[in-house]
Amino acid sequence: MNFLKSNYKNIIFSLLILGVGFGVGYYMKKKPSSRFASEAPVAEWKTSILKDTEGKSVRPAELPGNLFVVYFGFSHCPDMCPMALNDIENAFISLKDDSKDITPIFITIDPERDTPEVLRKYISHFPGKELIALTGGKDQIGELQKGFGVFSQKTQVPQGNGEYGMDHTLFIYLVDRTGNILRAYPTGIKGEELAKEIRELL
């Protein structure tokens, strides 16, 4: 009898844990993770002088648009960066005409390899709403990363040959013209979900 009671309790406990797990999973699917990331504007958004894919000097704050979808990555990224850029592209497809004052921006964390020419070829693989890609000096990029709280570092790759990878922060940022980070989402958010979140800010 005690054995049955004990097993009955174990079964009930297991079902409760399983139910909580399904509930959390369902919630995460229904409501993407987000966080309000800054209490003050990122000063470097206005002061950083970077280069676009034509080699022209630009300040992020002077780019067209009232809302910016910003991602820090690098062109040699094998998986997470293309995933994020595809999700951003799908978000703009979902937004349709609502995206007219919104600008997607890709900022390299690997200026050593990501020249304007390299980035111009790279973003041609994402032919949705015109994606702006920016590179610049190592110090300028580094200061802008600090302003956003973006971490990055070189990593070794198995094949060697002088090649390297980059570990880096995997967030998509929604930024206003003055440099306020309004929200941030982890890479993996679906385009439709991102579009819904963006519409809440319009």
Residues 137 and 194 in one domain: yes
- 146 shares a domain with 177: yes
Domain that holds residue 162: 44-199
Q: By the 8 A CB rule, do 65 and 201 touch?
A: no
How many Cα atoms within 13 Å fall on the side-chain side of residue 44? 13
What digits encode the pLDDT tens for the residues 48-105?
999 999 999 999 999 999 999 999 999 999 999 999 999 999 999 999 999 999 999 9
- pTM reported for the whole predicted model: 0.81
Is 2's pLDDT higher than 70? no
- Binding residues, by number, are 77, 81, 168
Can you list the alpha helix ranges (DSSP code H) found in 124-177? 138-148
Does residue 109 lie within any of the structural domains? Answer: yes
For 160-193, the pLDDT digits (tens) are 677 899 999 999 999 999 999 999 999 999 999 9
For residue 78, the one-letter residue type is P
Dig out the tokens for 183 from the structure: 């929200």
Residue 114 resides in a domain? yes
Separation of alpha carbons 103 and 51, rounded Å: 16
Which residues are part of a known binding site for Cu cation? 77, 81, 168
Q: How many domains does the chain have?
A: 2
